[in-house]
Amino acid sequence: MSDIIHLLPDSVANQIAAGEVIQRPSSVIKELVENAVDAAASNIDVIVTDAGKTAIQVIDDGKGMSETDARLAFERHATSKIRQAGDLFALRTMGFRGEALASIAAVAQVELKTRQEQNELGTSVAISGSELTGQEVISCPVGSNFMVRNLFYNVPARRKFLKSNQTELSNILQEFERIVLVHPDISFSLTHNDSLLFNLPKTILRQRIVGVFGKKLNEQLLPVDVDTSLVRLTGFVGKPETAKKKGAHQYFFVNGRYMRHPYFHKAVMEAYDQLVPANEQVSYFLYFEVDPANIDVNIHPTKTEIKFENDTAIWQIVVAAVKEALGRFNAVPTIDFDMEGAPDIPVFNAGRDMPETGAPVVQTDYGFNPFNKNAAGRNYHRKSVEWEALYEGLEQETVPSLSNELPLSAESNVEAEMPLLGSAANDMVEKSMLHYQYKGQYILTSVKSGLMIIDQRRAHLRVLYDRYNRQMSERTGVSQGLLFPEMVQLPPSEAVVLEQLVGDLEALGFDLSVLGGGSFGINAIPSGTDGLNPAEIVQDIVHTAMEKGFGGDGDMRHNIALSLAKSAAIVQGQVLSNEEMESLVDELFACQTPNYTPDGKVIVAILEQTEIERLFK
């Protein structure tokens, strides 16, 4: 038998490696910007065309490369960050594998222009699909200028799975934010299709956070600063009153590197126990400084998953540090004895404030004799009241006697197609016209096979979701104008998502004005959402879209309809009249799937008649 094992060509091996390192345009920007940071750059400019699908350019003023280094940098496992295995335990740089540039060059057309400060001329290197297409000496500024064109041009299957421009741009902005938040000493800019999205000068950390997410966040942050033998923890956490269900900005960084760490996230939320409502989140920006020998960043090519040697001890430090920050800045609710701003209530002083008044005098007529008819006092006669006239015209009403049975109205045979649960699906053709609301949460009604229980909020959610979906499909939403337009300010990563949703939101009845710079004006909202905060509704829709992602127009509309329905649905505890309950039940069973909410929760349950009878045996 002939030999069947052979070595793969370098170009194929690089394309395989690129599948892990370069997943989308945001991966290219992450690797190139991190390389610029490692090169001690002071200014980094990122220019993107068509969300990175057409071109990505990263310009820095770092150390630059020599002619030999510029060519060698595109070889696989070529790196200046480490020289031996022991260096992995003392990493201070972002990259170290030597795979990024080789992976990018394997799936794109790359041109590099670079020059070192001591050289008068620089070098230009052009590589396409791992093949060198040109190298020459040129005149260029100090630093490096990477131009990446036609990403995945030679891997059409990968390019086909790229999302829309707005989705890819949102991912680029998220990666960009993670880098700029940890390097406030470097100035950054990001331009997309000739539109400047970020222009961040050198500053302190707090101002960098405000520059990325808006000035409103500044007043919500509490500083954290704890130094121990295991870790130095700095950064900021949000005040408890700023907690919200979606859209909280939560970031962990270790030694200047962004990381995901669910274990430490639980530690932060543990510090907020009993301070924020359940299922709500607070923003935090926490920076860990640890000995590189005590962590392992070489787990995944993206380097966002990091193992700690003493994670249990650090967990306790995180909890204590956040609690200390909350206590130090009086963020924990306390009894407030501060009288500033309180109304001025005068204190009663019996000796000083009491007016001088004499003793009360009783007027007495000593000449009055009730037995003397001629006395003046007998001239008074009580006015007679003809009370019988008050009850004229009233008929006597009969008081109904109490029955031993529950008084239900006449049941009507409603021949409706109601896909009900369990074995009651076949015999459920009758329902009572009288409903009972239990604890402001459930609607109880008598049906042929027993007792039907409906969760009123979930039922309303189902009705609204179907209505909003239909309005977006048919573009028949009804607008309700606002007397004064509402303003909403979003960071760039959220603003690009909202711009993608504007068409469907207008079909629902929203009237949005794009004011630029992440600002939007809300001129009208859908009918039926009065009483709700328009800005919060829009932000909630955007955050839901970012969490769920976009798999197409259907998924986009599903996320919008579900988010708006959750905001507008009646809350638990809301009292409904019998007519309102009857209308809600009728609308529920007019839906195609009345038994479950759009996110799969049960709406209708049947308590069988046999089960009720068994309870009383």
Identify the CA nearest to 205 among candidates 235, 225, 250.
235
Please determine, for residue 505, whether its predicted confidence score (pLDDT) is greater than 70: yes
The position carrying tokens 């019996």 is 350
Measured CA to CA, the distance from residue 566 to residue 17 in angstroms comes to 43
Phi-psi region of 107 (alpha: psi -120 to 50; beta: other; left: phi over 0): alpha
Helical (H) or strand (E) element with 55: strand 55-60
Q: H helices then E strands: how many in the chain?
A: 15, 23
**235: how many CB neighbours lie within 10 A of its CB?**
24
Measured CA to CA, the distance from residue 505 to residue 513 in angstroms comes to 12
Do 260 and 252 form a contact (C-beta atoms < 8 A)? yes
Tokens of 282: 């607070």
Q: Quick one: average pLDDT of 491-507?
A: 86
The position carrying tokens 């790229």 is 162
pLDDT for the residue numbered 183:
94
Strand order of the sheet with strand 250-254? Answer: 221-227, 232-238, 284-289, 250-254, 257-259
Read off the pLDDT band of 409 (50, 70, 90).
Answer: very low
Measured CA to CA, the distance from residue 540 to residue 280 in angstroms comes to 13
H-type alpha helices, 511-605:
534-548, 553-568, 578-589
pLDDT digits (tens, 9 = 90+) for 38-70: 888 999 999 999 999 999 999 999 999 999 888
pLDDT digits (tens, 9 = 90+) for 545-583: 887 765 555 677 888 888 889 888 998 888 888 888 989
Please determine, for residue 424, whether its predicted confidence score (pLDDT) is greater than 50: no
pLDDT digits (tens, 9 = 90+) for 340-371: 555 565 555 555 555 666 777 777 777 777 77
Read off the pLDDT band of 412 (50, 70, 90).
Answer: very low
